[in-house]
């Protein structure tokens, strides 16, 4: 039992077929396989570059939107604070005016009661104090 690949009589035909198959395989790889792989890699690189550029554009737009939003929130907070301060000042003015009106009314009533002498002044003062503290 001899091994056919080591038979020297068929050695030249084996070399011929080896070279022929290698040449066909090399031509297939060069003309079919490599161009397909190169086109796939070029398309992949192009898509990656496009996606990266689009992602950077979107990132820039979102950062601009975020900064605009933050600025508007800051402005709205300042406006709300100013409105709150102005409303508190208005309320304080209204409260002071109302207290002044109440004090005038009670002082007139107190004078009227003192002229009549019908109520004790001590009871009248405590009554006025209670009403003033409720308002």
- The model's pLDDT over 35-69, given as tens digits with 9 standing for 90+, comes to 999 999 999 999 999 999 999 999 999 999 999 99
Length of the chain counted residue by residue: 135
Would you state the pLDDT for residue 131? 60
Would you state the pLDDT for residue 32? 96
Would you state the pLDDT for residue 1? 53
Mean pLDDT for 88-99 is 93
pTM for this prediction: 0.47
Is 103 within 8 Å of 132 (Cβ atoms)? yes
Would you state the pLDDT for residue 110? 83
Does residue 7 surpass a pLDDT of 90? Answer: no
Would you state the pLDDT for residue 118? 59
- The dihedral through the CA atoms of 82, 84, 85, 86 has a sign that is positive
Question: For residues 38 and 18, what is the distance between their CA atoms, to the nearest angstrom?
Answer: 28
How is residue 10 annotated by DSSP? S
Could you tell me which residues come within 8 angstroms of residue 26 by beta carbon, excluding any fewer than 6 positions away?
none
């Amino acid at each position: 039992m001899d091994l056919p690949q080591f038979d020297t009589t068929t050695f030249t035909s084996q070399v011929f077929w080896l070279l022929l198959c290698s040449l066909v395989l090399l031509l297939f790889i060069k003309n079919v396989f490599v161009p397909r792989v190169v086109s796939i890699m070029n398309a992949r690189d192009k898509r990656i570059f496009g996606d990266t550029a689009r992602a950077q554009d979107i990132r820039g737009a979102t950062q601009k939107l975020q900064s605009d939003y933050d600025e508007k929130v800051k402005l709205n907070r300042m406006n709300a604070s100013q409105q709150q301060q102005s409303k508190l000042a208005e309320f304080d003015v209204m409260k002071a005016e109302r207290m002044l009106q109440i004090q005038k009314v009670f002082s007139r009533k107190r004078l009227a009661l003192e002229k009549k002498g019908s109520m004790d002044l001590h009871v009248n003062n405590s009554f006025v104090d209670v009403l003033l503290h409720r308002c």
